[in-house]
Amino acid sequence: MRNRTVIQEFIKGLWEENPVLVSLLGLCPVLAVTVSAENGMAMGLAATFVLISSSFLVSMFRKVIPGQVRIASYIVIIATFVTIADRFLAAFTPDISKSLGPFIPLIIVNCIILGRQEAFASKNNIGRSLLDALGMGVGFTLTLLVLSSIREILGSGTWFGMEIMWPSFSPWQVMILPPGAFLALGCMIAGANWINRRRKS
C-alpha cells in the first residue's frame, strides 16, 4: 500500500478496485437510481462529494478520534455532508432531487463511503486520502453512468433525455423496471469478470 505512486492511488478506484464491479459495495443506490443517465450522474456526483469531504475530515482528525467510537464519529461526519448535499440538490435541481427520493439520505449508509474511511482515510495522510476518495468516487460515477446509459437507451430509447434510437425502435419496458436493474448489473459484472480473465491470460 505504502509504495504505490500518487497516480496509482487514483487509478486503482477506476477499474482494479472498482467499488461496484469488483468489491460489490453500495449496490442499493446503483440499482435504484439508474433509471436514467441524468439520475445516475447526479447520484454519482453527490456520493463523490460526500466521499471526498468526509475522507478529508476523517484523515485530518485521524489521530484525535478514539478507536472505540470511530465508527459513530465517521457516521456523524458522513451524515452532516449528506445533509449538505441533500439541501443543495433540493435547492438547485428540485426535479432530480425528487426522483432520487430517499436514496440521497441513504448515502449515509452506503458501504463504499464508510468502507473507505475505515480502510483508508483513517490510516493515511490527507493528500493520499483525497486521491483515494477521488479515484473511488470517479469509479463509482463512471459505473453508474454506464449502467444508467444502458438502461435508459434500451428502456426508453433516449440518452440524457435526447431521442437517439431509430423511430421504429420499441423500448424494452423491463429495463427501466426493477428486474432490468438486476439483469443489467448482472451482465455488467459478468462482462468485467470476462475482461479481467482475458487480460490475465
Partner 1 sequence: MNLIVIFISAALINNFILSQFLGICPFVGVSKKIDSAFSMGIAVTFVMVISAMVTWLIYHLILVPFNLQILEYVAFILVIASLVQLVEMFIRKVSKPLYDALGIFLPLITTNCAILGLALNAVLNEYNFSETLIYSVGAGLGFTMALVIMAGIREELELAPVPRSFQGAAITMIVAGSLALAFMGFAGLI
Nearer to partner 1, 94 or 186 (CB): 186
Element (H or E) spanning 82, and its range? helix 70-92
**199 interacts with partner 1 by CB under 8 A:** no
**100 and 43 Cβ atoms separated by less than 8 Å:** yes
Nearer to partner 1, 37 or 114 (CB): 114
| Crossing angle for the helix pair 37-60 and 70-92, to the nearest 10 degrees | 140
Least distance to partner 1 from the beta carbon of 163, Å?
27
Q: Draw the binding track, 65-84, toward partner 1 (x: CB under 8 A; -: no contact).
A: ------xx--xx--xx-xx-
**189 interacts with partner 1 by CB under 8 A:** yes
**178 interacts with partner 1 by CB under 8 A:** yes
> Going by C-beta distance under 8 Å and a sequence separation of 6 or more, which residues neighbour residue 124?
59, 132
Strand partners, 162: 159
- DSSP conformational letter for 169: P
User: What region does 26 belong to: left with phi over 0, alpha with psi -120 to 50, or beta?
Assistant: left
Residues that bind partner 1 (CB under 8 A): 24-25, 27-29, 31-32, 71-72, 75-76, 79-80, 82-83, 86-87, 101-102, 105-106, 108-111, 114, 174, 177-183, 185-187, 189-191, 193-194, 197
